[in-house]
Structures are given as structure tokens and as C-alpha cells.
Amino acid sequence: MPKNHTQQVKVIDGRLPRGIWQRADMEPHLATAPEHESVLQELMQREPLFHRQEFGTTRKDFEKMTTPGFWEVSASGRRFSRRFVLDTLEERYQYPTEAIWEIRDAHCGEIAADNYLITYTLVQGERITRRATIWRRTSEGWQILYHQGTTVQRS
């Protein structure tokens, strides 16, 4: 993909029946508690991050989406500041492209009042990553505090 292109993702998830986010054979600590299923559904409509056009494609949109202290760790293990991420997104959205990715095994847990950890597996062709995002519910809407993607090998 050329440097100045981003992917506008058609994610295979949509509105799924209750419980479909987790496999039946998953360990109990990886299952979303019933009281958090609505949060899981809501936040998974926003994942993968910065690829859901309905939540915006401009720097201002991405600023609103992230807390001032936001940072991320990429699949390569590099740490990126909010400013770097915003600069990169602003550049990439000048030349959008499209891709289809698949989300599997999404999980939601409340880690503090109005703060939730969302984890899932993202399949991008041959590339598989485990994703983790910390979201905060604010009076202005959902904001991201932290995000990480870790590359995994196919099993």
C-alpha cells in the first residue's frame, strides 16, 4: 500500500446475536459479563480504531475520539504519541482505499468506573493481530486512552 493511503475497512462483524462475540470453548475469564454486552456491542462498532468513517475522518474527529494523553503501541512494538498518530491519520485520509478485515473473539471488561478494556483478534488476510483498546465514556461520548496491536502467528 502506498505511503499516503489508508484503508477504509469493511469489517465482518455487524449486529450479531447475543453471545456470538465469544466462542463457546473460551475460558470463562475471557467471556464478557452479561452486564457489559451492550458496551461491547457499542464499542465494537468503533473498532478497529480510526477505520470507521461514520465516526469521522478528519484530524478534528480523531482529536475528539482520543484523550489528550492517548498513546499506542504498534504491532511492531513501537510507541506512538497522540500527535504522531493524529499526524499520520491526517495524511493517510487524503487518499482512502478499501479493505475487508475480520474481527474475532471480542471481549469487554470494565476496568474502572466508565473505563472499559476491549480486546479482539483482527484478521487482515495472512496477518493476525490481537488488539486492546482502553475506552472511557465521557459526557461528550467515547474516548480512547490507549491502544495496542500485537502480531500473532497462525495456530
Tell me how far apart the alpha carbons of residues 51 and 120 are, in angstroms, rounded to a whole number. 15
Is there a contact between 97 and 8 (Cβ–Cβ < 8 Å)? Answer: yes
pLDDT(74) > 50: yes
CATH hierarchy code of domain 6-152: 3.10.450.50
pLDDT, position 63: 97
5 or 61, which is more confident? 61
Question: Residue range 130-135: average pLDDT?
Answer: 96
Give residue limits of the domains in the chain: 6-152
Q: Could you tell me the CA-to-CA distances from 131 to 49, 91, 94 in Å, in that order?
A: 10, 23, 25
Q: Write out pLDDT tens, residues 17-41.
A: 344 344 455 554 557 888 999 999 9
Q: Is pLDDT at 122 greater than 50 in this prediction?
A: yes
Residue 100's pLDDT is 81
Q: Give the residue among 36, 155, 14, 9 at the shortest CA–CA distance from 107.
A: 36
Give the CB-side neighbour count of residue 140, counting CA atoms within 13 A.
8
The pLDDT score that the predictor gives to residue 118 is 96
Name the percent of the chain lying above pLDDT 70: 79
